[in-house]
Amino acid sequence: MLTQAQSLEQYLLTLSQKRRTGELVVGSAGESWKLYFYSGRLIYATGGQHSVRRWYRCLRRYSSQFSSSWFMGMRTPDDYWEVDFINQAIQRQYISLEQAKAVFQSIVNEVVLTLVDYPADDVQWHPNRLVAQQLVFVSVQQALVRSQKLYRQWQAIGGDHLTTLLPHELPYLSPVVINHRGLRVHLSTAKYDRLTRWMQGNITLWDMAAQAQRSLPEIINLLVPLIYQG
């Protein structure tokens, strides 16, 4: 159990070092997250406000052939449906093992990135509770190092602009263009047209990075200064 003197990051490392197997449930402000460990490594993670969007985005990013018709005839349990759907897609040869590995790893890394500084109110550990995912095993330490590196990158990019945001909030911003005239001054016509299609308040910076096939820091580098200009 997480103690008052222990951060969530430290607790994740403890579970890894002790080679724990089971489910970690993290709760705060009405949101719940679930991280699944196998012998100290992460095999899946889900939860938060954008869990379905995250799953769909990662699946689309690493399997360009994705089609909604894949859902036809698939039966998935209410619990763990995200993993079960991908497993069935592999069995039906809709996606390759390598694509599935990339999807699972991307989802886990995104959740860890979100939770590194997350203000957890409730943390519960359920030993030996698993999901059916044995394709990829993510190192907790490497995922945390990657997350901290990304934080430093976008803090360097955003500077004073990011002081009003917690790090885990930034990738989930869904910006809206208010000052169209001012935005047009700073951008070419092509970039302006693309950004105004994106910045309508219905997709996040994560979504934009996936659609543009860019890294999250690249999207932040492009958009954060523009967001604070209106």
pLDDT in tens, 70-110: 877 777 666 788 999 899 899 989 999 999 999 999 999 99
Question: Do residues 97 and 163 share a domain?
Answer: no
Higher pLDDT, 180 or 104: 104
Exposure of 137 by Cβ count < 10 A (0-12 exposed, 13-18 middle, 19+ buried)?
Answer: middle
Higher pLDDT, 12 or 162: 12
Percent of the chain with pLDDT over 70: 88
| Whether pLDDT at 9 is above 80 | yes
Q: Residues near 35 by Cβ (< 8 Å), separated by ≥ 6? A: 12, 23, 24, 26, 42, 44, 45, 111, 112, 115
DSSP, res 5: T
Question: Do residues 134 and 206 share a domain?
Answer: no
Question: Do residues 111 and 72 share a domain?
Answer: yes
Contact between 230 and 178 under an 8 Å Cβ cutoff? The reply is: yes
Question: Do residues 15 and 64 share a domain?
Answer: yes
Higher pLDDT, 78 or 125: 125
Question: Do residues 163 and 115 share a domain?
Answer: no
Question: Do residues 83 and 51 share a domain?
Answer: yes
Res 147: pLDDT? 87
74 is a domain residue:
yes
Q: Which element (helix H / strand E) includes 127?
A: strand 122-127
Question: Do residues 65 and 20 share a domain?
Answer: yes
164 is a domain residue:
yes
Least confident of 23-32, 128-137, 198-207: 198-207
Higher pLDDT, 175 or 32: 32
Q: Which of 28-42, 53-67, 182-196 has the highest mean pLDDT?
A: 28-42
Question: Do residues 49 and 128 share a domain?
Answer: yes
What is the overall mean pLDDT for the chain? 84
Res 44: pLDDT? 96
Its pTM stands at: 0.83
Q: How far is it, in rounded angstroms, from Cα 155 to Cα 64?
A: 31
88 is a domain residue:
yes
Q: How far is it, in rounded angstroms, from Cα 152 to Cα 154?
A: 6
Q: Between vectors from CA 16 to CA 143 and to CA 132, what angle results, nearest 5°?
A: 80
Total number of domains constituting the chain: 2
191 is a domain residue:
yes
Among 139, 159, 186, identify where a domain stops. Answer: 139
Among 99, 114, 139, identify where a domain stops. Answer: 139
Among 87, 113, 139, identify where a domain stops. Answer: 139
Q: Which domain holds residue 24?
A: 8-139
2 is a domain residue:
no
Question: Do residues 20 and 127 share a domain?
Answer: yes
168 is a domain residue:
yes
199 is a domain residue:
yes
Confidence of residue 42 (pLDDT cuts 50, 70, 90): very high
Percent of the chain with pLDDT over 90: 32
Torsional sign, CA 44, 49, 53, 54: negative
Res 5: pLDDT? 47
Question: Do residues 14 and 100 share a domain?
Answer: yes
Tokens of 227: 């967001």
